[in-house]
Structure 1
């Protein structure tokens, strides 16, 4: 599942780093903390590897 915004892609990257042990899980905040808990490493990798070019910084949660 590709990221819909740059912010989502960044949060997935942080969650993936924590899941792989590169950063402490306690350093995560907000969306990245939830992503780390609920998504698999494969899902996070797919979302984090999404290109940011042309993506908005944020997307409304209602869309």
Structure 2
């Protein structure tokens, strides 16, 4: 699934690095921490490798 914002893509990248052992899981915060727990390495890779062009920094939450 592609990332919907740059922030989501960055969080996925951090979570992917933790899954691969490049950074400690304890260093993760917020969305990246929950992504690391709930998503597979393949899902994180797909989200982190999304093209950035045209993506907003953040996507507003739907209420």
Name segments (4+ residues, structure 1) moved above 6 Å: none
| Residue pairs, 1:26-45, within 5 angstroms | 26-45=26-45
Coordinate RMSD, CA, aligned? 1.0
Residue segments in structure 1 that go unaligned for 5+ positions in a row: none
Aligned pair 1:12/2:12, yes or no? yes
What TM-score do the two structures reach when normalised by structure 2? Answer: 0.96
What TM-score do the two structures reach when normalised by structure 1? Answer: 0.96
Q: How many residues align?
A: 63
